[in-house]
């Protein structure tokens, strides 16, 4: 049995908890240690059962609380080499057991964690796939401008996929952001739009994914109803029906309540 919970989502901070066999890992720690502990308590997750923290990349909405949280919990932090170098050089790894993600699997008790590269304007960004002892698997893909063939191969067949649906293109280009920032967000090294996220979902559903969680929505350039509508319509156009073939949720700012697979 696997448990998934989005604790925080969006540009204000990101943190996901995944559990198997009574142990948990956190993916990212983009809010304060205090706030993350409060959300863990709300989800009845004992911090003593957190075995490690995995970091997707070094942007502040993914690492704001990592130093304090990791040192207070006494757990290791895993990151790619480029991300780890940034954490060390910028004071985010003091008193932290920082470890480089290997090419293979990190054994976290009843969970095996692997990473894969994403396309983002960061040192060495990545996504993660977590496989539990019973074979259930959960993949997380955020902060990527495109879904590459490598990303698709890495997450294909996951039972649950947490995928970025960051912005609505119309809202982005008609909004108040400076044009260079709009270009960055919409670029291949920016963030996935609702349309780009939705385009990937049918193939995943056909490969066995039955639960989708849309995350990392922009507070300025998206609203949950648009992200959800885009995904449901694209899946429907491919003959894949909500409630019969898949379940879909949207993780908002304060995350999403736990779901069990």
Nearest to 51 by CA among 129, 110, 128: 110
Per-residue model confidence as pLDDT tens digits over 167-187:
999 999 999 999 999 999 999
pLDDT of the residue at 24: 97
Per-residue model confidence as pLDDT tens digits over 67-96:
999 999 999 999 999 999 999 999 999 999
Please spell the DSSP secondary structure of the chain, one letter per residue: -EEEEEEE-STT--EEEEEETTEEEEE---S-HHHHHHHHHHTT--GGGEEEEE-S--SHHHHTTHHHHHHHHT--EEE-HHHHHHHHHTTSSTT--EEEPPSSPEEETTEEEEEEE--SSSSS-EEEEEEETTS-EEEEE-S-SS--HHHHHHHTT-SEEEEE--B-HHHHHHSSS-HHHHHHHHSTTS--BHHHHHHHHHHHHHTT--EEEEE---TTT--HHHHHHHHHHHHHHTT--BTTTBEEEE-BTTBEEEEE-
* Per-residue confidence band for 237, with pLDDT thresholds at 50, 70 and 90: very high
* Per-residue confidence band for 255, with pLDDT thresholds at 50, 70 and 90: confident
Bridge partners (DSSP) of residue 160 are 138, 211
* Per-residue confidence band for 209, with pLDDT thresholds at 50, 70 and 90: very high
Q: Has residue 257 got a pLDDT over 80?
A: no
Q: How far is Cα 11 from Cα 63, in angstroms, rounded to an integer?
A: 12
Tokens of 161: 């996929």
pLDDT of the residue at 154: 98
The ranges assigned to domains in the chain are 2-253
Per-residue model confidence as pLDDT tens digits over 108-141:
989 999 999 999 999 999 999 999 999 999 999 9
Q: Has residue 258 got a pLDDT over 90?
A: no
Work out the mean pLDDT of the chain and round it to a whole number: 96
Tell me the CATH class for 2-253.
alpha beta
Q: For the residues 138-147, what does the mean pLDDT come to? A: 98
């Amino acid at each position: 049995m696997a448990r998934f919970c989005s604790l925080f989502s969006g540009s204000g901070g990101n943190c996901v908890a995944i559990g198997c066999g009574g142990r948990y890992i956190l993916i990212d720690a983009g809010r304060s240690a205090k706030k993350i502990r409060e959300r863990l308590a709300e989800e009845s997750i004992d911090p003593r059962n957190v075995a490690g923290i995995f970091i997707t990349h070094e942007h502040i909405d993914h690492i704001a609380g990592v130093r304090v949280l990791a040192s207070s919990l006494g757990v290791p932090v895993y990151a790619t080499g480029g991300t780890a170098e940034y954490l060390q050089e910028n004071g985010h790894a003091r008193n932290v057991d920082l470890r480089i993600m290997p090419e293979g699997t990190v054994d976290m008790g009843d969970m095996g964690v692997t990473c894969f590269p994403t396309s983002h304007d960061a040192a060495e960004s990545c996504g993660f796939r977590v496989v539990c002892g019973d074979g259930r698997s959960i993949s997380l893909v955020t902060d990527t401008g495109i879904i590459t063939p490598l990303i698709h191969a890495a997450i294909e067949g996951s039972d649950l996929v947490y995928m970025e649906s960051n912005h609505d293109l119309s809202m982005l280009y008609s909004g108040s952001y400076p044009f260079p920032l709009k270009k960055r967000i919409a670029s291949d090294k920016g963030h996935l739009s609702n349309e780009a996220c939705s385009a990937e979902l049918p193939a995943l559903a056909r490969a066995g994914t039955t639960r989708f969680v849309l995350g990392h929505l922009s507070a300025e350039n998206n609203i949950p109803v648009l992200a959800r509508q885009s995904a449901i319509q694209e899946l429907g156009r491919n003959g894949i029906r909500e409630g019969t073939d898949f379940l879909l949720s949207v993780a908002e700012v304060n995350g999403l309540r736990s779901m069990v697979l």
